Copies of this chain bind each other. A is one copy, B any other.
Amino acid sequence: MGASDPRRVEFWFDFGSTYSHLAMMRIAPAAAALGVAIDWRPFLLGPVFRALGWDGSPFLAQERKLDYVWRDAAREARKYGVPWRRPTAFPRRAVLPSRVALCGAQAPWVGAFCRRMMLLNFAEDRDIDDETVVLAALAESGVDADAILVQAQGEANKLALRRQTDEAMARGVFGAPTFFARGELFWGNDRLDDALALAAAA
């Protein structure tokens, strides 16, 4: 897989994002079924929202819309067979898992780690920015958790996550999940299948 492979989809996600959770739990088998490779792109929505002039998640700005989002997320999770419990903290801070996922973006364990983090947040209501929680999830993936954590928290990787978020903004991302397929931006879990279909048609 590489930037030159047309049968790939970029998956931009934030571990605090409700609909990123739904897409995360669906994308791997759906992409595999179509022979499409996934380019894992963790980033931080917070700085993107602030740059767009929103103070935190746009969902929070409107109580009525946020109420709906919780109902919709529960229905969608049921529809897709994705485990779901409304988190008591939203949006949850998730800088550490984002750094770890970025660190491992090319590693074979990245998908399993990201799904575990999403389930911890959106099904088990755990604080996923906690080092102990992240270490345990890495250990479950059978990797050298301590070594990865050191690398994830290194200055180079911290800077890389800031650059990743800058790249999201530069490329027109305004929410998560966002997919790119053949240069086209698709926003939202509802567009996952369209993005994959476009990538598969390459």
Contact = CB atoms under 8 A, between A and B. Distances in A.
Interface of A: 52-53, 62, 64-65, 67-68, 71-72, 75, 79, 172, 174, 184-187, 190-191, 194
A71 B172 CA distance: 12
Q: How many copies does the complex hold?
A: 2
A191 B188 CA distance: 13
Given A72-B187, A185-B71, A187-B72, A65 B194 contact: no
Given A75-B194, A194-B79, A52 B64 contact: yes
A60 B88 CA distance: 32
Shortest Cβ-Cβ A-B pairs, 5 listed: A190-B190, A64-B174, A65-B174, A64-B172, A68-B187
Contacts of A184: 71, 75
Given A75-B194, A194-B75, A62 B52 contact: yes
12 contacts: A52-B62, A62-B174, A64-B172, A64-B174, A65-B174, A67-B172, A68-B172, A68-B174, A68-B187, A72-B191, A79-B194, A190-B190
Contacts of A65: 174
Given A62-B174, A174-B62, A194-B79, A185 B68 contact: yes
Contacts of A75: 184, 194
A71 B187 CA distance: 11
Contacts of A52: 62, 64
Given A68-B172, A68-B174, 4 more contacts: A52-B62, A53-B62, A64-B174, A79-B194
